[in-house]
A and B are shown apart, each in its own frame.
Chain A
Amino acid sequence: MSPAIELHGVRKTYGRTVAVDDLSFAVRPGEVTGFVGPNGSGKSTTMRVVLGLDRPDAGTALVGGRPYRTLDRPLLELGALLDAGAVHPGRRARDHLRWIAQSQGLATRRVDEVLEQVGLASVARRRAGDLSLGMSQRLGLAAALLGDPPTLMLDEPVNGLDPEGIGWIRDLLRGFAAEGRAVLLSSHLMSELEGMADHLVVIGRGRLIADTTVDELIAGASQAAVEVRTARKAEAMTALARTRGVTVAAVDHDLVTVTGLGGEEVAEVLTAAGVPFSELRRHRASLEAAYMELTRGHGDVTAAPVGAAGPGGDGAA
């Protein structure tokens, strides 16, 4: 089975700015793929290229194995939400969905179904410009769901949503993936993806930094770190740091992290030094920390000017 979305060596420049450079990755059915990078790192550009809105300078983007522009009823293949504000403010929410449905040859009944599904049935006759930010996001999602597509692609969908809304989207997307469908979900905050994404594609300055599963990423960042809880923190740090190649960091008033030693070795050293400890366990990094770890050394990860190594602007959002 071919990937739901695949990119091969995509490059896109705007004038002198490289927004996306030699980007390749695939989005697979049955899982939620998080697409992560700081603001201006090229996520939205990548999504526009997938939708055939922007023409790449090099490379190809395929949806279900075909270029998006060759699809006859594309919303039945891929539902996308790029910008919840991309509506005519004077058009009623229901009319906005109605013209989209008609363009795909879908019955108007389907419009009412998705309005119900996203919880907008009661404001269907309100003008799109009068909807709150959260309602606009739901309207954008409704448009993406219209064609009941096997793949969803959402750009920062939780922006502007309250916690309840975020939970709702999480459940929606998890359910979607559980049905064997594919989801590509972008965010500039790794924390937003915690508990939502199975797979991660991390980009910075338009380049691929990591293409991995959430579990692998956390495991990599947590490697060989041990947490020790002790009331005599200073003594413990001195004793542990005596061994070559060991790094000790204070995390809290009674907590230190040790890298370079296994759990048993840490226990040995502390016992030998006569330092008591109340807790000893393998450290598990948060997704956010793993992300910070990953992007460390990539410096400024936003878009860079062509041929310039210096700090880039965030010209390509």
Chain B
Amino acid sequence: MNFVPLLRSELTKLLSVRRWLVALAAMALLTIGFGLLSSAGSSTDANEQASYMVGPSGRAVNDQLYLVHGPVAGDATVTARVVRQRASHPDAQAGLMVRERMASGSRYVSIALTPGHGVRFDSNFGEHVRHAGGDAPQWLRLRRHGPEFRGEASADGRTWREVGHADLPGAGRDLQFGLFVNSPQRLEITRTAGGTGVTGFPTLGRATFAGVRLAPAGAGAVREWRGQDIPPVLPGPSKDPRLAGKDVEAVPPAKRGVSGSSAGAVAATGGSFTLTGSGDIGPAEGPDDSVQASLFGTMFGLMALASVAVLFATSEYKRHLVRTTFAATPRRRPVLAAKAAVLAGTTFALGLVTSVAAYFASRPTIRSSGFTLPAYAPTSIGQPAVLRAIVGNAVLLVAFALLGLGLGVILRRSSAAIALVFALAVVPLFAGAAIPPVSKWLMWLTPAGGFAIERAKPPSAELAEPWSQINPWLGLGIACAYAAVALGGAAWLLERRDA
């Protein structure tokens, strides 16, 4: 049987009931409207109570480490062997660094060993992060050639592999070369009904370096290197209670980083150096996600969409319309497939336009709420993560629409099917926020976890929103799996039941 006539026929059905078109328009308006409300309701004072450094790109960064360094002129190579490293934190670093200045926020290139993630190459706070396998003892090498820097690692000091490379355009002749150690804070997150509390505990990194060499001869002298904390030490620990509502509550980013770094130290014995140090290097933007705030209205728009999706199925049963349908097209699974395709296509198109509109409509509000440089980098629709959130949000709406369609066919009753979609898609969000211990499980077990796709930032346990805890692709996958199971059940029942 030709599938195209079925598609045309189902599309005509979907678009020829005025009430459904009104509901679809309501979905768009609710999504955009609540997105605006959410953007206006979430504000941040991170820029007024700055507790971060500003990096070379003008963004908030952490720049905390203990550095044993000295000036080096022109092209040079520094080599060292990390003999051992304390497992103070999975992201603790012990390695080599070249910096322009000693002040916080200076440009740099680094290669370091970590206890949890092998060898890490980085420049300028996350610009060129590369990872490679490896653990202690590990040879590390950082080579300068003009503005170009290469980070290499070796297990034996003879065979080297490049981990990463980066440029510092316009770097002067004299740069600071050195050994560094740091170790980020350990965070303890307590979830309470409607909020989270984050407490940071400093950890102290410690590593021993041997065989530190600087080439060529005359570039500098390792024995003249001096140890220094970057930045000067503040007392800690910090208590950072976050009284977040269920909507986006912005918090000052990176408070945990600056305070609580403890004084580093160096001990040189023979040719080896043992360094201790605390802190973190990298972007210091908070986990609050302004893109997610723009798309927050989706869960309200979803209710209008779910009713259309469910009715697209149940209206067939209410007055035995399905008999007319199956008399015209007796092969039932293709009919369901056509319904699903038409609903999915319409929902995706409308969902995409709505998401883009919600994103742009809320930008001015987002900016006036304090989500600006340096604390928060501006977002643009061209960024892969933002694009993922917007397109993913349309896909999420498709998943919920298909879930509604499948449940409508299975239950054949509008009220029951709409209630079930609501119970699966939205109730877990509120239940998760109200009952912290189960929130993550709810996101894993229900399609509500799909809202994770609306975030353009990595998952974070620090926020009150339940969906921010799980991986966006995982959450979207769970929602799609629910839709697939509902449609599969519907297809199975359709063939077995009398129409």
Contact = CB atoms under 8 A, between A and B. Distances in A.
Given A86-B321, A105-B5, A51 B13 contact: no
A100 interface: yes
Contact of B320 (A69, A86, A104): A86
Given A91-B16, A102-B8, A52 B330 contact: yes
Contact of A52 (B5, B12, B13, B326): B326
Contact of B321 (A52, A68, A71, A87): A87
Interface string A47-69: 01001111100000000000011
Interface of B is mostly: helix
A51 B323 contact: yes
A170 to B, nearest CB: 24
Q: Indicate the member of B1, B5, B327 with the most A CB atoms within 10 Å.
A: B327
Contacts of B2: 105
Given A99-B13, A103-B9, A54 B328 contact: no
Contacts of B319: 83, 85-89
B8 A100 contact: no
B19 to A, nearest CB: 5
A212 B9 CA distance: 41
A95 interface: yes
A102 B9 contact: yes
A96 B17 CA distance: 10
A54 B8 CA distance: 26
A68 B328 CA distance: 10
Interface in A83-120: 83, 85-92, 95-96, 98-100, 102-105
Nearest to A146: B328
Contact of B498 (A54, A85, A90, A105): A54
A100 B19 contact: no
A154 interface: no
Interface residues of B, number: 28
B305 to A, nearest CB: 18
Nearest to B13: A99
Contacts of B19: 90
B16 A99 contact: yes
B350 to A, nearest CB: 19
Contacts of A87: 319, 321, 324
A90 B319 CA distance: 12
A143 interface: yes
A279 interface: no
A82 interface: yes
A103 B329 contact: yes
Contacts of B331: 69
A205 B17 CA distance: 40
A102 B338 CA distance: 13
Nearest to B495: A55
Contacts of A135: none
Given A55-B498, A104-B5, A98 B16 contact: yes
Contact of B323 (A53, A68, A91, A99): A53
Interface of B: 1-2, 5-6, 8-10, 12-13, 16-20, 315, 319-321, 323-324, 326-331, 498-499
Interface of A: 48, 51-55, 68-72, 74-75, 80, 82-83, 85-92, 95-96, 98-100, 102-105, 143
23 contacts: A48-B498, A48-B499, A51-B326, A52-B326, A53-B323, A53-B326, A68-B330, A69-B331, A74-B330, A75-B328, A82-B327, A86-B323, A87-B319, A87-B321, A88-B17, A90-B20, A91-B17, A98-B16, A99-B9, A102-B12, A103-B8, A103-B9, A105-B2
